């Protein structure tokens, strides 16, 4: 357990989804964790599962669906290099120059802690955000997922540092 935190809850699973309103236009969903900030409650993330919709197989056209989960609101899809991004996923079909449907590629990052780590991230504010965006598809893209973790209570100094760090990463 992280110094400055106590673990008062059992493991939790939080389901979420985000769907583009218009094909090719990023959509962001806000998911409320309902943390008790007066008691300095935080959410310790132990795993993430992002399941993006398949890109469309269109002859001669590259298509893609990307998604990310972040601790603060974003205007673009995030990558793991961004300080507020906990996980990202991407499915591609590379078909430019082909007369058939091309070749598919899939990547997903941030789904579980690295060896020797107890958690992926700590969310200190009330919400987390899920973004999805398709490129080259005729229909809308979507992402479904689960966030795994537990609620914990931080001491005053730890809570203050976590909130400030999270808000400054936006």
Q: CATH number of the domain at 5-168, please?
A: 2.60.120
Predicted confidence at residue 115, as pLDDT, reads 64
Give the bridge partners for 43, in sequence order. 123, 151
Predicted confidence at residue 108, as pLDDT, reads 62
**CB neighbour list of residue 144: distance below 8 Å, 6 or more residues apart:** 15, 16, 17, 51
Predicted confidence at residue 166, as pLDDT, reads 83
Predicted confidence at residue 134, as pLDDT, reads 97
Kindly give the parts of the chain with pLDDT less than 50: none
pLDDT digits (tens, 9 = 90+) for 69-113: 999 999 999 998 999 999 999 999 888 777 666 666 666 666 666
Q: How far is CA 118 from CA 40, 85, 90, 156, in A?
A: 20, 18, 25, 22
As given in the structure block, the two tokens for residue 70 are 């972040």
Predicted confidence at residue 113, as pLDDT, reads 65
Give the bridge partners for 130, in sequence order. 29, 69
Q: Model pTM? A: 0.88
Q: Of 15, 22, 16, 14, which Cα lies nearest the Cα of 133?
A: 22
How far apart are alpha carbons 132 and 4 in whole angstroms? 34
Length of the chain: 170
């Amino acid at each position: 357990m992280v110094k400055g935190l106590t673990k008062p809850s059992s493991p939790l699973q939080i389901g979420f989804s985000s769907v583009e309103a218009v094909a090719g236009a990023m959509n962001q969903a806000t998911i409320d964790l309902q943390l008790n900030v007066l008691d300095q409650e935080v959410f310790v993330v132990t795993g993430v599962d992002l399941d993006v919709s398949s890109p469309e197989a269109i002859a001669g056209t590259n298509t893609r669906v990307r998604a990310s989960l972040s601790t603060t609101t974003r205007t673009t899809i995030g990558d793991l290099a961004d300080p507020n991004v906990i996980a990202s996923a991407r499915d591609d079909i590379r078909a430019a120059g082909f007369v058939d449907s091309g070749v598919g590629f899939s990547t997903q990052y941030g789904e579980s802690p690295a060896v020797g780590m107890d958690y992926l991230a700590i969310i200190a504010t009330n919400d987390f955000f899920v973004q999805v965006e398709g490129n080259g598809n005729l229909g809308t893209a979507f992402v479904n997922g689960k966030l795994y973790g537990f609620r914990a209570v931080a001491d005053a100094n730890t809570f203050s540092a976590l909130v400030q760090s999270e808000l400054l990463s936006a």
